[in-house]
């Protein structure tokens, strides 16, 4: 089998090209999709991410409403902003940029987002719906991973998938999505004692651990599909790319793998949310 580099930019381009026509149709019906992004504080990485997401919206005709709050903002003040956006019919999606300053109750803020506008898939209700197989807006990075798998027609049914990481907006939901596609899923984490042995059994590896070059090539079974959802300083993923490239049958690069598709899924969810206001109004 020829080795496949899973090109996220190609997948993202395919998604956004289809969204352009859908946005045009919405506008012809008097609806312009709108994504509101909330940034609290002045973390430079978060500022960059919010700007990237806003630019991506504008490229396909989605309105981008950017709300930048000072780092001194308290939880209750943030909740008021979110509630105003929940009530604003011109806003179809709400994204609270993670992380927020430590004095803010981030989970409480996430939970206050209306489920119909939770296009980033951060609420516990959204997670529950995803796990049960009927969630409209899965967390965007897990959704991106599944989109890459589908685009390249990689088999999932009956395969052993090992997910390294169990965060509530990445490791846990991607494990649920893979399970819903009939994979046998093992979720590993910081207390897993035999990680290399687990990975050697995996047909599909999802790296979501947040540590640069953590997963080594010698841990990968020959021919495995490796999906690197990590993004660390210096454009480095969670996977030792050179080492894993030698063993993998298919692998995502960093950058240019999961990241571009994640942003495209955020756009898709926003358009989906806007369309629902027409279908059910």
Active site residues: 53, 97, 120
What are the CA-CA distances from residue 70 to residues 10, 67, 94, 202 (Å)? 37, 10, 18, 45
- End-to-end Cα distance, the chain: 50
- The sign one gets for the Cα dihedral 63, 72, 106, 213 is positive
* DSSP collapsed to 3 states, the chain: CCCEECCHHHHHHHHHHHHHHHHHHHHHCCCCCEEEEEEECCCHHHHHHHHHHHHHHHHCCCEEEEEEECCCCCHHHHHHHHHHHHHCCCCCEEEECCCCCCCCCHHHHHHCCCHHHCCCCCCHHHHHHHHHCCCCCCCHHHHHHHHHHHHCCCCCCCCEEEEECCCCCCHHHHHHHHHHCCCEEEEECCCCCCHHHHHHCCCEEEECCCCCCCECHHHCCCCCEEEECCCECCCECCECHHHHHHHCCEECCCCCCHHHHHHHHHHHHHHHHHHHHHHCC
The values of phi and psi at residue 95, to 5°, are -125, 120
């Amino acid at each position: 089998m020829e080795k496949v580099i899973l090109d996220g930019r190609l997948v993202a381009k395919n998604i956004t090209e289809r969204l352009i026509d859908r946005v045009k149709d919405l506008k012809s019906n008097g609806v312009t999709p709108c994504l509101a992004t909330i940034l609290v504080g002045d973390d430079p990485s978060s500022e960059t991410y919010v700007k990237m997401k806003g630019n991506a919206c504008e490229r396909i005709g989605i309105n981008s409403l950017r709300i930048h709050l000072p780092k001194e903002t308290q939880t209750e003040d943030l909740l008021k902003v979110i509630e105003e956006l929940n009530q604003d019919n011109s806003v179809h999606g709400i994204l609270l940029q993670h992380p927020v300053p430590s004095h803010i109750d981030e989970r409480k803020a996430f939970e206050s987002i209306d489920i119909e506008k939770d296009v980033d898939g951060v609420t516990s209700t959204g997670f529950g719906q995803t796990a049960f197989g009927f969630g409209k807006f899965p967390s965007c990075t897990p959704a991106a991973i599944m989109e890459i798998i589908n685009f390249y027609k990689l088999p999932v049914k009956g395969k052993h998938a090992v997910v390294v990481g169990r965060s509530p907006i990445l490791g846990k939901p991607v494990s649920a999505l893979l399970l819903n596609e009939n994979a046998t899923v093992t979720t590993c984490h910081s207390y897993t004692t035999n990680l290399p042995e687990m990975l050697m059994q995996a047909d599909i590896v999802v790296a979501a651990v947040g540590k640069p070059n953590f997963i080594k090539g010698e841990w990968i079974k020959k021919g495995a599909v490796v999906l690197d959802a990590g993004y660390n300083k210096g454009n480095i993923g969670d996977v030792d790319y050179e080492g894993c490239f030698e063993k993998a049958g298919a692998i995502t690069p960093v950058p240019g793998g999961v990241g571009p598709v994640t942003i495209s899924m955020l756009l898709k969810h926003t358009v989906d949310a806007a369309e629902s206001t027409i279908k059910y109004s």
